[in-house]
Amino acid sequence: MQLTDFSTLVLIADNVVFDKKKVTLYSQEVDRAYNTNVSYLKAGFEQLFQTVIVYDDPQSFLANAKSHKNDIIFPYWHGESSRNKHAVISSICEIENLIYIGPDTYANIVCSDKILSKDICRMANVKYPRFKVINEIESNVKWPYRYPVVVKPVYEGSSLGMTQENIINDIIGIQKMARKLLAEFKQPILVEEFIGGIEVNMAIIGWKDTIKVWSAAERYHTLKPGFFNSNLFAFEEKNLNDDIVLRDGRHLISEDLLKRITHLFSWLDKIEHIRIDGKILDGEFYCIELTQDADLHPEGSFFTQLQYAGYDFIEALRLLVDNCLERYNNQFPIQS
């Protein structure tokens, strides 16, 4: 199979609209596919396919799934509050035996869970901050490692619930912040060591241990050098601060780290594209999050990194399709 064998791509995306200046620290809309991003993706895929069909909810897609047996599916629906939200579309595709781009249900669940994702890092020998999980507030909560720490919800993305106040220096502060986040999100809370240093993202497209392209970006504050030595890339910085930008960070990735990241990528199997967020401190990379649901705006971190590697937006979309089909061809060869 190759791209020219398909005339239609099906894009499933939230397609929400909101005013970024009016969102709050707990606004779930921020973690969903914005309609501008969806419009760019649709226009981009229209340069590769005769037809692009868009569904903005799983129910509509499910009702029509059987009519898409000969199409390619691109899941970009992020859902609302369920911890399983990122796995819904991939599960429908698996049930209906549809060809789809991107992570399967396993990879979606693992990457969306900040606890499980650390175990994938452990198996790949990729460092991560030491951590503890809080399910309820107890009077004898203890923190056995160094301070400061970061306190955050386990299943949320887009830095929901996160400000610089989530950097905590004592056990009373941990209890106070954990209590606040438990009440708001009603999910386990992660307490992990704060890692200073250089803020780095890696973008990867490939399948299993075949990396088609990788790139990296350093995120930095144009007015405050060393900002991330003592600060988070938190909600306000992510959504309202134009002074934090990206630059080419490929020189920061050692050959040894790339080997370990490739091992991590292989462990996830059907992941196909991912952004890995981390910090480099004293020459060591620490993985903070595995982001399988990255912002796919052409000027967002994922596609910006691919530009550093020589791929424009349309070329990167084509690579996503070709990579997906190559995996299917190898995993499920057509019998002659």
Average pLDDT over residues 204-216: 97
Q: Higher-confidence residue: 30 or 168?
A: 168
Q: Are 15 and 91 within one domain?
A: yes
* Residue 162 forms part of a structural domain: yes
* Residue 335 forms part of a structural domain: no
Q: Are 98 and 156 within one domain?
A: no
pLDDT at 120 > cutoff 80: yes
Structure confidence at residue 125 as a pLDDT band (50, 70, 90): very high
Q: Are 184 and 231 within one domain?
A: no
Q: Higher-confidence residue: 241 or 269?
A: 269
pLDDT at 137 > cutoff 90: no
**Is residue 85 within 8 Å of residue 78, measured between CB atoms?**
yes
Q: Are 227 and 302 within one domain?
A: yes
pLDDT at 26 > cutoff 80: no
Percent of the chain past pLDDT 90, that is, above it, reads: 80
Q: Are 209 and 179 within one domain?
A: no
Instruction: Give ∠ CA 45-51-55 in degrees, rounded to 5.
Output: 80
Q: Are 32 and 67 within one domain?
A: yes
Among the candidates 162, 193, 224, a domain finishes at: 193
This model's pTM is above 0.85: yes
**Is residue 272 within 8 Å of residue 207, measured between CB atoms?**
yes
* Residue 334 forms part of a structural domain: no
CATH number, domain with residue 152: 3.30.1490
* pLDDT recorded at residue 254: 97
Q: Are 29 and 13 within one domain?
A: yes
Residue with tokens 């306000």: 236
For CA atoms 325, 326, 328, 332, give the dihedral sign: positive
* Residue 336 forms part of a structural domain: no
* pLDDT recorded at residue 334: 63
Best-predicted range by mean pLDDT among 18-32, 153-167, 194-208? 194-208
Average pLDDT over residues 122-134: 96
Q: Are 120 and 244 within one domain?
A: yes
* Residue 331 forms part of a structural domain: no
Q: Are 158 and 81 within one domain?
A: no
Structure confidence at residue 336 as a pLDDT band (50, 70, 90): very low
* pLDDT recorded at residue 335: 52
* Residue 333 forms part of a structural domain: no
Residue with tokens 């460092």: 127
**Is residue 188 within 8 Å of residue 154, measured between CB atoms?**
yes
Q: Are 188 and 211 within one domain?
A: no
Which helix or strand (DSSP H or E) is residue 149 part of? strand 149-153
Q: Are 222 and 310 within one domain?
A: yes
Among the candidates 163, 178, 193, a domain finishes at: 193
CATH number, domain with residue 275: 3.30.470.20
Among the candidates 193, 208, 228, a domain finishes at: 193
Instruction: Give ∠ CA 327-87-234 in degrees, rounded to 5.
Output: 105
Side chain identity at residue 279, one-letter code: K
List the domain range (segments joined by +) for residue 147. Answer: 131-193
Residue 257 is given by DSSP the state: H
Q: In the chain, how many domains are there?
A: 3
Q: Are 58 and 136 within one domain?
A: no
Q: 12-22 pLDDT, tens per residue?
A: 998 777 776 67
* pLDDT recorded at residue 109: 94
Q: Which residues pair with 52 in a beta bridge?
A: 9
pLDDT at 331 > cutoff 90: no
**Average model confidence (pLDDT) across the chain:** 92
- In this structure, how many other beta carbons lie within 10 angstroms of the beta carbon of residue 74? 24
